[in-house]
Amino acid sequence: MNTPSRPSTYSISELAKEFDITTRTIRFYEDKGLLTPQRKGQTRVYSPADRTKLKLILRGKRLGFSLEESRDIIEMYSPGQNNEQQLKALINHVRSRKATLQQQLHDIELMMLDLQESEQRCIDALQEMGVTDT
C-alpha cells in the first residue's frame, strides 16, 4: 500500500492553509528568527524542518508558552541526538504552566464565590425592600 509522501518544500500559503493561520503570522515568526525559509527570488521556500518548527511554535502558543520559551525549547533539539536536556526543559515549562493555570483556576473559583455572595446580598436587600423582579 502506498502512503502519500510529504512534499520536500512548502510555500507560505500552503503552510498558512494547513495550520489555519495567516501568512502574516508566518512572516512574524520569520521576523522573530523562529523560521528561516530559503528564498527563490522573492518566494519563500519552507523545508519540512520549518514546517515542524511552525507546528511546535503553534503548539507552544496553545500551551501558553511565550515565543522565547518556545524558541529555547526548539533550539535545544538535535536530530539523532539524545534530547534529554530538551525534554527536561519542556517538562519544567509544562509544570510551571500547569501551576500557573491551577492558581488562576483557584482564583477564578474564589471570585465566582464572591460574585455569587454579592449577587445574593443584593437580591436579599431588594426583597427586604419589597422588590420582587430581579
Query: Which residues, including other chains, have CB under 8 Å from residue 36's CB and lie 6 or more apart?
Result: 30, 50
Collapsing DSSP to helix, strand or coil, 5 comes out as coil
Domain-ending residue, one of 76, 98, 117? 76
Residue matched to cell numbers 494547513: 18
Number of domains in the chain: 2
**81 part of a folded domain:** no
62 and 30 inside one domain:
yes
Give pLDDT tens digits along the chain (134 positions).
Answer: 555 667 789 999 999 999 999 999 999 999 999 999 999 998 999 999 899 999 999 999 999 999 999 999 888 887 778 889 889 999 999 999 999 999 999 999 999 999 999 999 999 999 999 988 87
d(Cα 74, Cα 13) in Å, to the nearest integer?
23
The terminus-to-terminus CA distance of the chain in angstroms comes to 67
pLDDT value at residue 82: 85
58 and 104 inside one domain:
no
Task: Name which of 23, 14, 25 is nearest 61 in CA terms.
Answer: 25
Range(s) of the domain holding residue 122: 86-134
pLDDT value at residue 76: 86
